[in-house]
Amino acid sequence: MAKRINKNDPGFNDVLLATLLERNRAAENVDSVVASILEEVKERGDDALIEYTERFDGIKICQQQLKFSAEEISSAYAKIDSDVISALKFAAQRIEKFHRHQVPKDFFYTDEVGVRLGLRWRPVDAVGLYVPGGSAAYPSSLLMNAIPARMAGVKRVAMVIPTPKNMIDPLLLGAAKFCGVDEIYRIGGAQAIGALAYGTETILAVDKIVGPGNSYVASAKKQVFGTVGIDMIAGPTEVLIVADRDNDPEWIAIDLLAQAEHDSDAQSILVTDDPSFADRVEDSIEEHLGGLNRREIARSSWENNGLIVIVDDLSLAPELVDKIAPEHVELAVDNPDDLAEKITHAGAIFLGRYTPEAVGDYVGGPNHILPTGGSARFSSGLSVLDFLKRTSVMQCGPESLKSIGTVAIKLAELEGLGAHARSIGIRIGKG
């Protein structure tokens, strides 16, 4: 049974905070181990990658096998059924269309004193895409990473993917080719992040690293930040569903389990104003669990991290959502826009009874790579903007520099920066 709390209970906020902190605890302190791995990769390059791949993934490879060959990638693509290709194409078209709307435009204008000002956008040159591997295949995440990079105009996308015990689903290689990614390396973990950040004899360094991974990958991304950019530090997935009694409890139950089946550390939260409806949802969860192929994972997630919050009125839900700042929010109510307008902190919001979060994972269009663990308070989901840099542009003529330069000279002198003041003054006869 999931934990159930009532907003009117004494100490509600303390219980809620303790529940969230417990779930978001670090699984283990891996920073020192990761630091050692990164240093080895930085110093020894390919040799370190080969050794760590044998140690952690259980396979022996030589330098030439670090990179998947064009033949291996094409062969994997050829194995994908035509109906799967059609599904990937359908999803890709919707994702591309949504992300195309995000591409910003340069702007320039001349102000009232004649100074020309502007802002221009340019893509990063090279991006490293981390894709979890092994027996699990999540081509949807590959689409969500690769397509916005392409929309931004990134010239080079290098993909790394672990192959423990030499296992890899051909679908991932084929989907990569479908997305236009043909530089793929069979390495994973912290060593893969190090290779992308520092470069090796085989792998050229990139400018930014994106994509989810385990605690070692997350720690490595934190530690290489500054040498390269990163997208975010993603934790276990989560959903918060606001639902009234007019919902079918089976629908809400399976939505909660759809998040729970990702990972035993995932979290599913139900907020409702009807305790009896919450009872029916819990009964439906038990019924659904028996038919899930990942039922043990889903059950562990629900029983250990699941949470039901009872409120007097669903008008109180936005305040609760903002306090938790969840990755996904479903508003399964009659007028979801009214509640959504009052929510500030959420990675993504799904409006109404017919918009399950699961559709957003695949074919909705918006990106499903979103901030977790309360980080929606200060960050956003992956977008085209994550692959672009903005540069300001300024141009003065003799008269416009004179118009604004005297004030700049005054400010420079106040700060004791004489060369700054003279740099301006020498051009306008005040130097």
Is 357 an active-site residue?
A: no
Number of helices followed by number of strands (H, E) in the chain? 17, 14
- Evaluate whether 424 touches 401 at the Cβ level (below 8 Å): yes
DSSP state of 352: S
229: left (phi over 0), alpha (psi -120 to 50) or beta: beta
Closest CA relative to residue 346, chosen from 19, 354, 336, 5: 336
State the Cα–Cα distance between residues 265 and 278, nearest whole angstrom: 22
Closest CA relative to residue 356, chosen from 239, 212, 237, 235: 239
- Evaluate whether 38 touches 223 at the Cβ level (below 8 Å): yes
∠ at Cα 52 (51, 54), nearest 5°?
Answer: 70
State the Cα–Cα distance between residues 241 and 256, nearest whole angstrom: 8
Q: Which of 99, 328, 345, 368 is catalytic?
A: 328
State the Cα–Cα distance between residues 202 and 204, nearest whole angstrom: 7
Is 368 an active-site residue?
A: no
State the Cα–Cα distance between residues 149 and 279, nearest whole angstrom: 45
Q: Which of 40, 327, 330, 357 is catalytic?
A: 327
Quickly tell me which residue has 């997630």 as its tokens. 301
Strand order in the sheet with 107-110: 107-110, 116-123, 388-395
Residues 6+ apart with CB under 8 A from 300: 264
Residue 363 forms beta bridges with which residues? none
Catalytic residues: 327-328
